[in-house]
Structure 1
Amino acid sequence: MILTQEQEMIRDAMRDFSRERLAPFAEAWDRDHTFPREALKELAELGALGMVVPEQWGGAGMDYMSLVLAIEEIAAGDGATSTIVSVQNSLACGIPNRYGNDAQKEQWLKPLAKGEMLGCFCLTEPHVGSDAGAIKTTAVKDGDEWVINGVKQFITTGREADVAIVFAVTDKAAGKKGISCFLVPTTAPGYVVGRIEEKMGQKASDTAQILFENCRVPADALLGEEGQGYKIALSNLEAGRIGIASQCLGMARAALEAAVKYAHERETFGKPIFEHQAVNFRLADMATQLEAARQLVWHAASLKDAGRPCLKEASMAKLFASEMAEKVCSDAIQIHGGYGYVTDFPVERIYRDVRVCQIYEGASDIQRLVIGRALAD
């Protein structure tokens, strides 16, 4: 696939921003657990927080391929920032853009797409991950309000967000058709940040446990129709998985570039290790796997832009890219030798950041399940 001139310009602009405003600070943000709020404001000014939202609702009105390119470049600078940006685009903006009414779009989507607000996606619970239909959080109608009670787990931007997209059971007897979706301001009484998780990587992106303790929201906080929540939760899987696959490309590319640079600088037996066939072949395999993953991601994005179903292709891209990225980052550490294991070089941080990509937005085995079902149809 050949990029358009506009897409190349977007990629290049994001690459320049990432190299100047993300990569130099990524190590400190990771060490100090610093949320990159200023960098996000600058990304918002570039239109990166609502890229595929129509201009009418404050977005940049671009295509998914442009979003893929932007996320790859952001991830090459800092994996944690790319996760925040991916969630903001695919979930926080994507869901109200598709299911919100005009009043909800005016109140929430516009500021989200402009980056004036940040959003989070509250589906996962302490004992409910892949089986989204088994959530226990409830929302009970009380006059002209909904009262939400429950616990959500592993919520990206849960502490820093301004609005939460929350899934709760409104009809226990209806099973999956009894789940509804709500737009909940994080300032609402009863929205409580229970704790911030201590993670292996992506420490600049907060991952929170959120408690809903008699959290009251007005009746018009319901997003879509009552009982439509399960459908809404699954509807953005394609975009979300394409987004995570894109960040895998960026982190893997950053690790590869670091490994190539080090291989040219480090000398053994009288020559740079790049000239040793064992190292050179390893780098060749890394580059090949990265490019193969990129083509899968671009293909899924092109199908999305064409309005064609791409759940299988998005799952393939996410599965292959996430597993590729861990292998490439591991190989980058190996090329660095002992220095790859210490914080003086970026590859140990990138490896820690990329590992979770095989877990969130659908674990690898879930992707295989989706692909396998598609083959059976």
Structure 2
Amino acid sequence: MSIFILLIVAVIVIFIVTDIRMSVISRPAFKFFKKVLPPLSQTEREAMEAGDIWWDGELFTGNPDWQKLHSYAKPALSEKEQAFLDNQVHTLCNMLDDYKIVHQDKDMPKEVWQYLKDEGFFALIIPESYGGRDFSAIANSTIVSTIATKSLTAAVTVMVPNSLGPGELLMHYGTDEQKERWLPSLAKGKDVPCFALTGPEAGSDAGSIPDTGVVCEGEFNGETVLGLRLNWSKRYITLAPVASVLGLAFKMYDPDGLLGDQTDIGITCALIPTDHPGVQIGERHYPMAMAFMNGTTYGEDVFIPLDWIIGGPEFAGRGWRMLVECLSAGRGISLPALASATGHLSARMTGAYAYVRKQFGLSIGKFEGVQESLARIGAHTYALEAMRLMTAGAIDMKLSPSVVTAIAKYHMTEMSRTVVNDAFDIHAGKAIQLGHNNYLAHGYMGVPISITVEGANILTRNLMIFGQGATRCHPYVLKEMEAAANEDHEAGLKQFDELLAKHILFAGTNATMALFHGLTGAHFNSSPVSGMTAGYYKQLGRMSRALAICTDVSMLILGGELKRKEMISARLGDVLSHLYIASSVLKRFEDQGRQQSDLPFVQYAIENSLYEIGQAIYGFCDNFPNKVIGFTLKRLVFPLGNSYKKPNDDAAQQICTHMQQPGVMRNRLTHLCFIDDNAGTGVMEQAFQAMYRCEGLFAKLSKAQHKGQLPAKVSIVELIEKAKFSKLISEDEAETMLAANELRLLAINVDNFAPGELEGTNVKASKSKKSKAA
């Protein structure tokens, strides 16, 4: 006992007495930290320093402040934003025939282009003082989502000028002269912008762009001025084929020292009219299932004055920082908007289809195999909308949370892929036949585009989420790195010593509490609420502890090698991501008044995230290079084993019930889905509503079949006629049921084309016809 007390006293003395701590712990640790410190390139450093820490920082603390989560403002549209959605967006959606746009014209009609320009669709984020709409991030997101449920081509066309591009860059960094020159014409649609970043040899690694701008003197407007000689070759540039102003990213060099001593100035962004001499708008690309304008641009020895640099000459070399900070619009608004739209459309239409489509005399939504996929669609849609609202809400707080937007981009696009795959499985043959009435096919084919842009998802998951998150969001690591990099050794050591003491206490607390919560099932953890969701807060807090201790150990053991162990770091990124997903779901549940009907969706979404967290931690521990450390961490986090399971069948079946009946819950789940009365969505919705109104009558006939009063194996039409003849239903009821069945047949059938119509040899062929057969 006395030896144990002496050990405790020794540890206390070491940590309390600064000189002893400095000698025994801090100096060796400082030396080790400098050795294992991961080398950062200039672009990595700028990316690390760019953006803001937000809720992701709380999740790394091991003890998230849930009251802070609840205190974030509930995202809401202003009156003018709601009016725009109800009027201009509604009008636009009614103007769009996506099948014709994609498969026949390969472009939107001229009147649609003009409407977009006239009504300010390209100026959603431009301030009113320059003639723009000055809408919030949540409005921008909601508008794009709604349009995307009708036409991805139109949605992408609208979202690009309102995300990463000249408009956003000008507002953040442009000079007053540049803003006055460009923003009013962009707001009115007189100028159409594009931004050229990606090239044949530089995709996700934008820091490797080969495009150059060399400082030199040249002729401009009849005068000799200092400027840049540009050479570039870009591809995948959205709106390039129709752009009148080109934002360009390039590497800037000053070999003759005309601006100073620095030769390699760095990545720079400039704004160039596309009719400027030497600018070439090249060939057009054709993204699958979409007809939005996308193409190439080239330039050879193009001279521009220095004041065309966005922000002016003083912003030379600051382009990468500018781009990283502004990428949050694409990652945090536009792509999540498309993903959420996929959920809204798939959930509403698949729930309806599962109800009206019958097999063996039953709606296919009654079969448990279908319910498994349908429930996943519903729960993912709830989570997608929760993430859309929370992430856009952060941007409306004037934040640029780079880690959070990377999480949203990766997981929302992947979840939308799962959703649309499940929707395809349930729709089966109806989903694979293209035509005016196929509301799923373009979304299915468009998902890989969202997954590819703004950094391919493989890169986003394996390098960005945890790579940035572990360093940026950790309470101490980035500060310790800065201390280790301090050229004043003693000052850096003193700063490091203070941080290290706090870091050790932080790690020790998290390790102790992780084990305690593992042994007690987090029963004694805190929760800001009571009721069914209380336990979820406790478990998420427990997993926050697990993330913190696993992060500390992996960074300590692996050091700079960690960023090359992508499979290891990606699993910790998955833990962080699912903590964020679950937080978003709980936030939405609270913001919407803790609706009882939401509980199955919340239960499914959170339990799915906890299951994924458990799998990720097990995978991390099992594959950790040091097997002893990996085993120890597993036993620390899960001393009694991993008890997280996939969502149960009861929750899944409750979700399916809500998705297959009209009502407030179904409307709240899918409120962004635009219903076109003259297209496939309208037909399906009409059939669903009509069949549901007849549910009691069809149940009555089914009961009569079981009793032997009506034959079992007859068509629905014959069954109705026999029921009418037997006086089981009235003539009016029979007519109502027959009309509903006609709508049902219309909804479940697919488009047919006259001979020669698809080949273009029958110019008189009618628009796609619908088969009379069921």
TM-score, normalisation: structure 1: 0.91
1:37/1:321 CA distance change after superposition, 3 Å? farther
Structure 1 residues not aligned, in runs of 5+? none
Q: Does 1:348 align with 2:438?
A: no
Paired residue type of 2:136: D
Q: Distance in 2 between matches of 1:319 and 1:350?
A: 17
2:217 paired residue number: 142
Q: Distance in 2 between matches of 1:138 and 1:358?
A: 29
Which 10-residue stretch deviates more, 167-176 or 107-116?
167-176
1:371 paired residue number: 465
Kindly indicate whether the alpha-carbon contact (under 8 Å) linking 2:232 and 2:299 is maintained by their aligned counterparts in 1.
yes
> What does residue range 72-221 of structure 1 map to in structure 2 within 5 Å?
72-92=145-165, 93-140=167-214, 141-143=216-218, 144=225, 145-171=227-253, 177-202=265-290, 204-221=291-308
What secondary structure does 1:178 align onto? strand
> What does residue range 321-340 of structure 1 map to in structure 2 within 5 Å?
321-340=412-431
Which 10-residue stretch deviates more, 361-370 or 242-251?
361-370
2:755 paired residue number: none
Kindly indicate whether the alpha-carbon contact (under 8 Å) linking 1:341 and 1:348 is maintained by their aligned counterparts in 2.
yes
Cα offset for 1:226?
Answer: 1.4
Kindly indicate whether the alpha-carbon contact (under 8 Å) linking 1:139 and 1:169 is maintained by their aligned counterparts in 2.
yes
Q: Distance in 2 between matches of 1:20 and 1:216?
A: 45
> What does residue range 188-337 of structure 1 map to in structure 2 within 5 Å?
188-202=276-290, 204-224=291-311, 225-242=315-332, 243-337=334-428
1:309/1:197 CA distance change after superposition, 3 Å? closer
RMSD: 2.2
Kindly indicate whether the alpha-carbon contact (under 8 Å) linking 1:147 and 1:217 is maintained by their aligned counterparts in 2.
yes
Structure 2 residues not aligned, in runs of 5+? 1-73, 219-224, 256-261, 475-774
Kindly indicate whether the alpha-carbon contact (under 8 Å) linking 1:340 and 1:348 is maintained by their aligned counterparts in 2.
yes
What secondary structure does 2:250 align onto? strand
Q: Distance in 2 between matches of 1:105 and 1:135?
A: 27
Paired residue type of 2:242: E
Kindly indicate whether the alpha-carbon contact (under 8 Å) linking 1:14 and 1:74 is maintained by their aligned counterparts in 2.
no
Cα offset for 1:26?
Answer: 0.8
Q: Distance in 2 between matches of 1:159 and 1:362?
A: 22
Q: Distance in 1 between matches of 2:185 and 2:378?
A: 39
Cα offset for 1:177?
Answer: 4.5
1:176/1:362 CA distance change after superposition, 3 Å? farther
What secondary structure does 2:383 align onto? helix
Q: Distance in 2 between matches of 1:223 and 1:309?
A: 20
Q: Distance in 1 between matches of 2:263 and 2:293?
A: 31
* Deviations, residues 300-339 of structure 1 (Å, cap 9, x unaligned): 1111111234112211111121111111111111111122
What secondary structure does 2:388 align onto? helix
1:232/1:49 CA distance change after superposition, 3 Å? same
What secondary structure does 1:205 align onto? coil
Q: Distance in 2 between matches of 1:2 and 1:133?
A: 35
Query: Is the radius of gyration larger for structure 1 or structure 2?
Result: 2
Which 10-residue stretch deviates more, 260-269 or 297-306?
260-269
What secondary structure does 2:133 align onto? coil
Paired residue type of 1:100: G
Kindly indicate whether the alpha-carbon contact (under 8 Å) linking 1:54 and 1:61 is maintained by their aligned counterparts in 2.
yes
Paired residue type of 2:321: K
Kindly indicate whether the alpha-carbon contact (under 8 Å) linking 1:282 and 1:331 is maintained by their aligned counterparts in 2.
yes
Paired residue type of 1:214: D
Paired residue type of 1:332: A
Paired residue type of 1:69: T
Kindly indicate whether the alpha-carbon contact (under 8 Å) linking 1:36 and 1:81 is maintained by their aligned counterparts in 2.
no
Cα offset for 1:36?
Answer: 5.0
